[in-house]
């Protein structure tokens, strides 16, 4: 589990020491003699990132190191997160996507160099999740790596594979619950089934993975973290594990098969019209094509998803999708990357995101990480100076510390209806009752043709006790009321301008569509700067946000708003322009 970086605790230092000792012992393992069957790549990489790596441009964890001619492991590491990503070897996917001689030589050189420098237990790459991630990539791309290698290089490669497999068999249990443990166990199963002489590790790992599926994946196919991108990662790992079992002539355990069947419809419900994932609770959109590929590989027949999907409500009509956070936020250790995003939504038209959340800021440093988690970084209503959930530093067990969400809403309500001409959601939360006596209620209505989304945001005292608390707050505030803002963060590609004398906002998408925002109620409209926090870039992207500002003066305030396509915008537009999402300079 990712947590706020800082001085490691005694328990963390102890775990690292035991990992290091286990790694050094495992390095003396008997080498694997080869593969049971010829491995085939399952992972998807980025051609453009692979080309940049070959050119000596290393972009990881929000840092760009330009060092042509410098070996990867000789770089001056700009951050621990940067170095950790290198040791996970996901970049092998990108080099394999290029696949030419230069890419293969880079992949081989950096891999043989890793074995020489770190294969006996050195470096930061000896944690169970990183070892699992690395084993999967080495096995996936073994033909790519071994093409043209010498017998000595091949021998060292198989010895390193066997050592890491033995390490995982002894240390997978210290991986954090959730994605890190799924990575460790999938890597162990993958290696045990792929390598000659490692079969003894498979049965215990499969039993452990089955237990994790039961413990971490709920009946609706969700994770405690409520992070859509993390759910996709877990889903992909489970598919890989199941495929490896079937190719070895083994039937996957029922718990694993059931988990895959539960997750698939949930992921479909979390997919926007453009194929990207909704960006909530520390998750990004996901690598282009990864979600569709995983769903297709699973081979599970699409079925309509009823109700909430991992706590998210989805409206979809025409070419428009809307996804709303409509459940309690994650709590405890599961909230270490979670956001105060209750009742925020994202909206996509065709292949173009329109309304977004700012997203995860971890790759841009701790300041951006904290800012991205706050309510003002989401497309929802917030009381000025407060988030719907607050951040606090606590101990997480196993010696770790992290900033989790606390002072959460105690009650989040949701209702969904459909009719021949509309799709309707009504949701509310009490996250501001404890501080101001106020409840936020949001109503969203999407027309059946997907051309308009009507919203209604109400902030008010819902009971006599809440009204009395609000009145006391008003007295203390010298009857100035409670300030609030409703924010609609726009994707950076949206060209927005104030219109109708400042009473509306016109938004042009790159597809040629025009959307118009209007509102009614006691609020002021402004178009302000915003940011789009997109992993894989050097810095946050500048963007804009529509902001409605008002004050609650008499116990309740209601604002109505509409997002609608301009009347002369066609129902369907040919949208073929697609920019490369990988940038090194912005």
| Predicted local confidence at residue 2, as pLDDT | 43
Which residue, chain included where needed, has tokens 């790694």? 23
Q: For the beta carbon of residue 209, count every other beta carbon within 10 angstroms.
A: 27
Alpha carbon 75 to chain centroid distance?
Answer: 28
| Predicted local confidence at residue 27, as pLDDT | 76
Query: What does DSSP assign to residue 481?
Result: -
* Residue 117 to residue 155: CA distance in whole angstroms: 16
Cα distances (angstroms) measured from residue 164 to each of 22, 83, 115, 134: 10, 19, 11, 9
3-state secondary structure 527-580: EEEEEECCCCCCCCEEEEEEEEEEEECCCEEEEEEEEEECCCCCCCCCCCCCCC
Nearest to 379, CA basis, from 517, 573, 175: 517
| Predicted local confidence at residue 262, as pLDDT | 94
Q: Is 345 helix (H, G, I), strand (E, B) or coil?
A: strand
| Predicted local confidence at residue 301, as pLDDT | 79
Residue range 311-335, pLDDT digits in tens: 999 999 999 999 999 999 999 999 9
* CB burial readout 470-482, b (16+ within 10 A) else e: beebbeeeeeebb
Residue range 511-559, pLDDT digits in tens: 999 999 999 999 999 999 999 999 888 889 999 999 999 999 988 999 9
* Residue 539 to residue 532: CA distance in whole angstroms: 9
* Residue 561 to residue 518: CA distance in whole angstroms: 6
Ranges of the chain whose pLDDT falls below 50 = 1-5, 395, 399, 580-582, 585
| Predicted local confidence at residue 580, as pLDDT | 44
| Predicted local confidence at residue 1, as pLDDT | 38
């Amino acid at each position: 589990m990712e947590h706020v970086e800082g001085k490691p605790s005694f328990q963390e230092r102890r775990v690292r020491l035991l990992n290091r000792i286990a790694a050094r012992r495992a390095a003396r393992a008997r080498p694997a003699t080869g593969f049971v069957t010829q491995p085939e790549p399952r992972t998807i990489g980025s051609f453009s990132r692979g080309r940049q790596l070959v050119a000596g441009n290393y972009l990881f964890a929000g840092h760009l190191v330009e060092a042509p001619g410098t070996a990867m492991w000789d770089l001056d590491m700009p951050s621990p997160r940067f170095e950790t990503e290198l040791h996970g070897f996901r970049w092998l996917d990108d080099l394999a996507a290029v696949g030419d001689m230069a890419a293969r030589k880079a992949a081989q050189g950096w891999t043989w160099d890793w074995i020489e420098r770190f294969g006996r237990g050195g470096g930061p790459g000896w944690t169970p999740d990183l070892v699992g991630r690395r084993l999967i990539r080495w096995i996936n791309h073994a033909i790519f790596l071994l093409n043209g290698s010498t017998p000595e290089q091949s021998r060292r490669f198989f010895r390193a594979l066997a050592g890491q497999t033995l390490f995982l068999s002894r240390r997978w249990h210290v991986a954090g619950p959730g994605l890190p443990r799924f990575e460790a166990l999938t890597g162990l199963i993958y290696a045990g089934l792929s390598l000659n002489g490692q079969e003894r590790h498979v049965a215990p790992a499969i039993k452990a993975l089955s237990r994790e599926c039961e413990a971490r994946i709920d009946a609706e196919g969700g994770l405690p973290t409520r992070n859509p991108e993390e759910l996709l990662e877990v889903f992909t790992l489970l598919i890989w594990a199941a495929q490896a079992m079937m190719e070895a002539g083994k039937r996957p355990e029922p718990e694993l098969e059931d988990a895959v069947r539960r997750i698939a419809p949930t992921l479909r419900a979390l997919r926007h019209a453009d194929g990207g994932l909704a960006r909530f609770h520390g998750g990004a959109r996901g690598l282009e094509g990864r979600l569709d590929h995983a769903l297709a590989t699973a081979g599970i027949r699409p079925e309509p998803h009823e109700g909430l999907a991992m706590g998210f409500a989805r409206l979809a009509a025409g070419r428009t999708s809307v996804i709303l956070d409509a459940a309690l936020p994650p709590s405890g250790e599961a909230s270490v990357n979670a956001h105060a995003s209750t009742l925020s939504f994202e909206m996509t038209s065709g292949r173009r995101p329109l309304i977004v959340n700012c997203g995860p800021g971890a790759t841009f440093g701790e300041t951006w990480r904290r800012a991205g988690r706050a309510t003002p970084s989401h497309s929802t209503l917030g009381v000025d100076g407060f988030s719907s959930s607050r951040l606090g530093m606590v101990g997480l067990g196993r010696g770790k510390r992290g900033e989790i969400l606390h002072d959460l809403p105690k009650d989040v309500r949701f209702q969904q209806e459909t009719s021949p001409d509309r799709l309707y959601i009504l949701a509310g939360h009490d996250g501001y009752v404890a501080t101001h006596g106020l409840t936020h209620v949001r109503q969203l209505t999407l027309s059946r043709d997907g051309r308009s989304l009507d919203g209604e945001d109400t902030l008010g005292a819902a009971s006599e006790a809440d009204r009395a608390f609000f009145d006391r707050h008003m007295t203390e505030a010298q009857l100035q009321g409670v300030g609030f803002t409703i924010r609609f963060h726009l994707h950076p590609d949206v060209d927005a301008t104030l219109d109708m004398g400042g009473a509306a906002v016109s938004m042009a998408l790159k597809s040629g569509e025009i959307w118009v925002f209007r509102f009614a109620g006691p609020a002021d409209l402004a178009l302000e700067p915003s940011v789009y926090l997109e992993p894989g870039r050097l810095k946050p992207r500048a963007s804009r946000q529509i902001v409605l500002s008002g004050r609650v003066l008499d116990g309740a305030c209601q604002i109505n708003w509409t997002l609608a396509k301009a009347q002369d915008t066609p129902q369907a537009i040919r949208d073929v322009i697609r920019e490369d999402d990988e940038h090194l300079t912005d």
